Structure 1
Amino acid sequence: MIYIQRRERFSAAHQLYNPNWTEEQNEAVFGKCANHNFHGHNFELIVTVKGEVNPDTGFVMNLADLKKIVKTLVTDKLDHKNLNRDVDFLAGQMTSTENIAIAVWKILAPVIAEHGVALHCIRLVETENNSVEYYGE
């Protein structure tokens, strides 16, 4: 088994805010991230797939194909968007980095499987100090 990765970047705004809570509760839990005017990040999305090397190509998966899949299905829909308002696959969810990673997994896993490999991990870097990894579990 071998693992390959593709990194894409996108910039987006979001707000962490629970409408069922008071302003004070939201401020206490989410701090500046609850700002009514939203806030933004320059995200990095690292997609890791796994499989066996194809003896005819030397590839696990053609990285050009992986780039196109990730860009078309995910980053083009997230880049320069308000994640709370503009992204259909995040509608009605708290737009935490964790939930974004899970949503991306749900989109990519079946499409990547069509290429004879498996999605291994979604890593989403929100800041240089904060990131999440999701393995579909």
Structure 2
Amino acid sequence: MKLNEILTTIGIIIALTLSIINLFNTYLVEETPDLSIQSFPQELSSFNTNEDIEFTFFLYNEGEKPAFIDYIYAGNSNFIIEPQMDFVISAYDTYPISITLPAKNKELEEEIQFEVYFGPGNQKIRSEKITVKWGTL
């Protein structure tokens, strides 16, 4: 074989290998959303025990694919979470989540944590635990 034929054969093999790798990355490797929780408070309090506590945090999708949010769980059915389920966060986008913690009508301190379930594969992220106080600051 001549040098020219060897180089041509090597070039064809390299091109074929790159085509296969590109096909694999395009169609077989599934990019998943990469969610994070932003602007989450460290502590919440209300001096008035008859006053709801409201706050907002953000879900940020750092991935290249949309994140399909299945459900946001707080462990307490009295919380009002808007939106709570079935919404989409586009790639590299944020989405505000509004929370209302109903008044307890008594002095109380409790710890809460939120879990966000998203697809595909029923993935989950958790917020940090925060302390919520009614009746004290």
What's the TM-score, normalizing by structure 1? 0.30
- Structure with larger Rg: 2
- Name whichever structure is richer in strand by fraction: 2
- Name whichever structure is richer in helix by fraction: 1
What's the TM-score, normalizing by structure 2? 0.30
Q: Bigger relative contact order, structure 1 or 2, given CA contacts below 8 A and separation 6+?
A: 1
